[in-house]
Structure 1
Amino acid sequence: MPRPPARSATNAPRLSLRPPQGVTRVDDPRLLDGDHREGEHYERLALDRQELAGITLQECVLEGVSLDDTDLRGARILECAFEDLFAPVFRAPRSSWRETSLRSTRWGSAELYDSRLDGVHLDGGKLDYVNLRSARLTDVLVSGCIIGELDLTGVRATRLALADCTIGTLTLDGAQLRDADLRTSSFRGIQGIDGLRGVTIDEYQLQLLAPFLAESMGLRIEG
């Protein structure tokens, strides 16, 4: 009898996301910094350059909303569902995200440093630069995304998976990754190769990483 395929020793992100139910559509939310909004549905709205620092969105749905240069410092995003978010500049440092899905996101630069993401699925979309420096990630899945630069400098992550993504530069200086799975994703360059310690990759990725590994070890390869 053929042997069953070997199971990966890497634990996958634990996600149990459910779309918010019974939400109320709000066409003119008049959001303010520090607000707590719950069970609301915002669709095709421009919230550009608004001051929304410290806002809490709980069990809310945002579809086709523009958040260009909107101040979301310290925002709390809880059990929400976002789709087609647009922001050439997305500013949400020191924010908290829990049990939230984001689909078809289009961000130029995303400032998410010092943030905390727990149970988050970023699915599809195009992002030029994602700054997650010193963030804490638990049970995070990024799938089907095109990302110009993903900066994970100083990140502490548990059960992080990058699936079917195309990433230009992955920066891992000082990163501490546990149960991180990069299989099926591609990278043109990696900085901070030591941050890959303990990460799961496939054989093809190992071949692509060989020059970076050799450089980090000071090896000279001559034919």
Structure 2
Amino acid sequence: MAKPRPTGTQPPKLTFSAPGHVADADALELRPSDQREGERYSDADLTDYDLSGTTFMECEFDSVTLTEAQLRGARFVDTLLAASFAPTLRAGRSSWRDVMIQSPRWGSAELFDGDLNSVHLRGGKIDYLNLRSARLTNVLIEDCQIGELDLGGVRADRVAIRNCRIGTLDLTRATCVNVDLRGSEFSVVNGLEGLRGVTVDGDQLAELAPVLAAHIGLVVE
């Protein structure tokens, strides 16, 4: 797909670089509120583990299962998550800075009230991505299939969603600056007032025209 033409919309500034000098570690030794740095966790099953408040700095997660793991309030800094799996990911109020998330397979991903800065989500499939009331700064989501993307109440600046297929996009009470949706497909858009400050392409505008007309009471004959 062609790259979107430049506009006045500022693109995300991503500063992630792959962690260096990581050492293999036993993920089963992780505990709540741990401070972990420079570790790699591979093929680990962390189902039902309590990792709330844990900080991961310059770490790698490779093919890790996070089913019902409690990540509430966890912090991820300069960290890579590749091919993670979770029917339910519980990470409300978590913090993500300089993070790459590659090809996740998540059912319901609860990242509400989170803080995401310089985060790149690439590929994968997510049934429900709950970012309600999160702060999103310098976030790129691309080449991803998302059943429902809940951006209700978010504060978003320099966010791009590219080449994604999204069933329902909810922007209810969202505050958007430099948010670029060009090149993605949406079946349903809720919270049309949240589109203020969002950049779309001509095809997307044509798709949105009927619902926008209905929203403002415009009669088309």
Shorter-chain TM-score bucket reads over 0.9
Q: Secondary structure at the match of 2:123?
A: strand
1:128-187 Cα deviation digits (max 9, x unpaired): 001111100000000000000000000001000000000000000100000000000000
| Other-structure match for 1:121 | 120
- Could you tell me the TM-score, scaled by structure 1's length? 0.95
Consecutive unaligned residues of structure 1, counting only runs of 5 or more, are none
- Could you tell me the TM-score, scaled by structure 2's length? 0.96
Which one has a bigger Cα radius of gyration? 1
Please show how residues 51-90 of structure 1 align to structure 2 within 5 Å: 51-90=50-89
| Other-structure match for 2:44 | 45
Q: Secondary structure at the match of 1:79?
A: strand
Q: Secondary structure at the match of 1:220?
A: coil
Alignment RMSD: 1.2
| Other-structure match for 1:205 | 204
| Other-structure match for 1:92 | 91
Q: Secondary structure at the match of 1:80?
A: strand
Instruction: State the number of aligned residues.
Output: 218
Q: Secondary structure at the match of 2:139?
A: strand
| Other-structure match for 1:146 | 145
Q: CA deviation at 1:58?
A: 0.5
Q: CA deviation at 1:8?
A: 1.1
| Other-structure match for 1:167 | 166
List structure 1 runs of 4+ shifted beyond 3 angstroms: none
Q: CA deviation at 1:7?
A: 3.4
| Other-structure match for 2:190 | 191
| Other-structure match for 2:214 | 215
The one-letter code sitting in structure 2 at the alignment partner of 1:49 is D
In the alignment, the residues of structure 2 paired with residue 69 and residue 221 of structure 1 have an alpha-carbon distance, to the nearest angstrom, of 49
1:55-93 Cα deviation digits (max 9, x unpaired): 000000000000000000000000001100000000000
1:31 equivalenced with 2:27 (yes/no)? no
In the alignment, the residues of structure 2 paired with residue 28 and residue 119 of structure 1 have an alpha-carbon distance, to the nearest angstrom, of 25
In the alignment, the residues of structure 2 paired with residue 211 and residue 67 of structure 1 have an alpha-carbon distance, to the nearest angstrom, of 41
- Residue pair 2:27, 2:46 contacting (<8 A) in 1 also: no
Inter-CA distance 135–6: structure 2 relative to 1 (3 Å threshold): closer
- Residue pair 2:28, 2:46 contacting (<8 A) in 1 also: no
1:82-129 Cα deviation digits (max 9, x unpaired): 100000000000000000000000100011110000000000000000
| Other-structure match for 1:155 | 154
In the alignment, the residues of structure 2 paired with residue 27 and residue 13 of structure 1 have an alpha-carbon distance, to the nearest angstrom, of 34
Consecutive unaligned residues of structure 2, counting only runs of 5 or more, are none
In the alignment, the residues of structure 1 paired with residue 49 and residue 130 of structure 2 have an alpha-carbon distance, to the nearest angstrom, of 21
Q: CA deviation at 1:220?
A: 2.9
In the alignment, the residues of structure 2 paired with residue 107 and residue 45 of structure 1 have an alpha-carbon distance, to the nearest angstrom, of 16
* 6-15 vs 209-218, greater mean Cα deviation: 6-15
In the alignment, the residues of structure 1 paired with residue 218 and residue 136 of structure 2 have an alpha-carbon distance, to the nearest angstrom, of 33
